[in-house]
Amino acid sequence: MIAPARRAPGPGYDGALPSLVRVRDLLDRYDAVLLDAYGVLCDSHGALPGAASLVAELDRRHLPWAIITNDASRAPAKVAQRLTRFGVDVPPERVITSGALIAPHFAAHGLAGRRCVVLGTPDSAAYVEAGGGVVVPPDGDGAPIEAVVVCDDAIDPFLPLIEATITATVRALDAGVVPAMVLPNPDLVYPRGPGDWGVTAGTMAVMIEAAVHRLRPGAPGFVALGKPHAPMYAAARALVGDGRALAIGDQLDTDVAGALAAGLDAALVLGGVSPWRPGLAPTPTYLLASLE
């Protein structure tokens, strides 16, 4: 039983209690399913209960499905390989990452050829290079940087690279260059395992943006690409079609908010990043105890 709220309802709360259901009882109602990766199908230690059997059931029903993940640290093939290694059979063509949104964003905003600081993995840098960006170190002595792309927390050394990025951004502004600030993955945290959390790109962007704004008020902020923003859902629709779709995730601010804004029903898997109780917003369509 869900405990009563201790605070006033927030924006987006409509007073209705979402149904606590089993995921397999929902599948006949939908033409497609969109799945989050971390917190739904897996955590850092392996597959979560029910993940492998749900994917197998979607395939058995020939129901279109896709993984939509805010991960910008791995190419789709590596996301698929990792899940398959965990026992969840995922082909690469089913995976949409926030990193894959970088190239279209660069094309739409004329960022090809720009000097880009990229915080993340080699795959993160490859996403930027695929969009025409020229990857440069934040502590270089060359021309001012023209873009900052924050993809993932897998940077070493962490704090010196954050500080160098802040410094490079301020130096560019002082030189009259306004860097494009791009955030493929706006997630603040991710589930490493039960009761174990890690920070990710969104938290890094908050640090950089807050520092730059303190030093140079009026500087531009980051433009987020991944969930809950529209580009991810446009890419998903292109893959699974325009029928009635259900999105399954573990975060209210990204998975549920993004799905509802895109006109989809949303199921929140409990035990991931976001709890839910009456008064929290947005209100998911369903609650799932697990994928089993």
Read off the pLDDT of residues 140-197 as tens digits, 9 standing for 90 and up.
878 999 999 999 999 999 999 999 999 999 999 999 999 999 999 999 998 887 888 8
Range of the domain at 184: 100-224
pLDDT in tens, 211-245: 999 999 999 999 999 999 999 999 999 999 999 99
Looking at the domain assignment, is residue 285 inside a domain?
no
* Alpha-carbon separation of residue 143 from 129, 136, 146, 160, 209 (angstroms): 18, 10, 9, 20, 21
What number is the average pLDDT over the span 253-265?
A: 96
Average pLDDT over residues 127-139: 97
Is residue 147 within 8 Å of residue 127, measured between CB atoms? no
For the chain, give the percent of residues with pLDDT over 90.
84
Alpha carbon distance 60, 69 (integer Å): 23
CATH number for position 153 = 3.40.50.1000
Burial environment of residue 135 by CB neighbours within 10 A (0 to 12, 13 to 18, 19 or more): middle
Asked whether residue 14 is assigned to any structural domain, the reply reads no
In which band, very low, low, confident or very high, does the pLDDT at 12 lie, cut at 50, 70 and 90?
very low
Q: Is the pLDDT of residue 100 over 90?
A: yes
pLDDT tens track for 109-125: 999 999 999 999 999 99
What confidence category does residue 15 fall into, taking pLDDT thresholds of 50, 70 and 90?
A: low
Residue 266 lies in a domain: no
Is 246 inside any structural domain?
A: no
Asked if the structure places residue 32 within a domain, the reply is no
Overall average pLDDT of the 204-216 stretch: 98
Count of domains for the chain? 1
Confidence class for position 104, pLDDT limits 50, 70, 90: very high
